[in-house]
Amino acid sequence: MKWIGAGEFSINVASGIFTLTIGKLLYDMTGQLWAFAGVFFVELLATMLLQGFSGSITDKFGPRKILLVSINTLTAVLLLLSLMSFLTNENLYIFVAFAAAITISKPFTKNAVFTLIPSVVDKDNIEKLNAIISASLQSGQIFGLVVGGIILSFESKQLIPSTITFFLFISAVAYYIFFKQIDNNNRSDIARTQREKKLNWRYTLKVIMSNPILMIALVITTFDFMALGIFNLLLAPVVKYNFNNNTNWLLILELAFAFGAIITGAVASRVKINAEYKLLFTLLSSFSLMLFLSCYYFKLGSVATLLAIFLMGVSSTLSVVAWSATVQKLSDDKVRGKISSIRLMLNTLLPAFVVLAVSAFYQSGGFKHALLIALFGAMLMVFVSISLIISDLYKVRKKVSVVGLP
């Protein structure tokens, strides 16, 4: 499992560098937000148009092939663009192409990794591997932000493409070593069986609709991504209104969340998480969202705010790990890629809707109005979590669990 962790760490280092540097460089080159906004529009468009396709080909060819092909292809494309950035002055178009290539590859790599997990470990270790991936994501993002910051401080923008490409190459090597160490016969047989049966999206939707536990899991999983979207959206306004516009607090608040997630992921990778408590984890995550939003609204001070954000990092990681394992265990092996695509689409589109709603209230009524609508959303998530817990307890008394693992 260490090589999967290394692969995910490296790819998220590249993502961290990309997130910090590409947006700033595009803004510096154009003097406008259109290029930066265009990157996120392409990502949303790619999610809507490519997720279904990525799920289908993952089921057809297997996650191993899709993951290696997508990472190796992306690395080759970025290497070519990196060489072009050294040989030409047309850096704007190169950086736009660079951003587009990374964005388009995301549906394939994310879907392949999520689909891969149940096929490389037994059911008892799925939570542990999800925890390793979660910790690798956060630690990789932090390291990437540091590396990106160093590059920007030396004004060496020519190094950005090559540095991102280097870490993607390390990720590709790590995954190649991992796959060399495991037996792939079962996955080859699964892919061949799927091609013979030609299972389509109608069958996939039938599988989901016939399993209420899986339906609940796909929806509840979005709660943590909604919370993270709200957290990231409000960072800049919070620093402006609550921390005297001291930009150092942007990094401090991000680190509070990341440390909570990394510590929890590291512990969960060694100690088995009881997925039966997943609704409690979601309740705690939703409550911590409500708590740190209250700290923002009432200006309760830096210590209370940092503790609330740290708690959110802990609880959201526990929730994501538990619910991801639930979806992976409940998914039909024959259409796991398609179910993963639906999960990723929901985790992108629903949080995007929430972020747009909060942004609209910020534009129309200011910071306080945005906080109030975000608080209302957090309280709604708490209410749903409590309702499901009560429903589950009621069903358990009848010895028929609705949201527990089978």
| Position 365 confidence tier, pLDDT thresholds 50, 70, 90 | confident
The dihedral through the CA atoms of 332, 338, 341, 342 has a sign that is negative
Q: What is the pLDDT of residues 194-228, one digit of tens each?
A: 444 456 788 888 989 999 889 999 999 999 999 98
Per the document, the length of the chain is 406
Q: What are the distances in angstroms from CA 134 to CA 49, 105, 116, 282?
A: 26, 19, 15, 16
Q: Alpha helices of 181-211 — where are they, by DSSP H? A: 185-197, 201-209
Please check whether the domain covering 1-198 is classified as CATH 1.20.1250.20: yes
Q: State the number of CA atoms in the 13 A half-sphere of 251 facing the CB.
A: 11
The values of phi and psi at residue 145, to 5°, are -60, -40
Q: What is the pLDDT of residues 84-114, one digit of tens each?
A: 888 876 667 777 788 778 878 888 998 999 9
> Domain map of the chain by residue range?
1-198, 199-406
CATH topology match: 1-198 vs 199-406: yes
Q: What is the pLDDT of residues 295-346, one digit of tens each?
A: 989 988 899 999 999 999 999 999 999 999 999 988 888 888 899 989 988 8
- What pLDDT score was predicted for residue 33? 45
One of 3.30.1330.10, 3.40.50.800, 1.20.1250.20, 1.10.8.60 is the CATH number of 199-406, namely: 1.20.1250.20
| Position 34 confidence tier, pLDDT thresholds 50, 70, 90 | low
pTM assigned to the model: 0.80
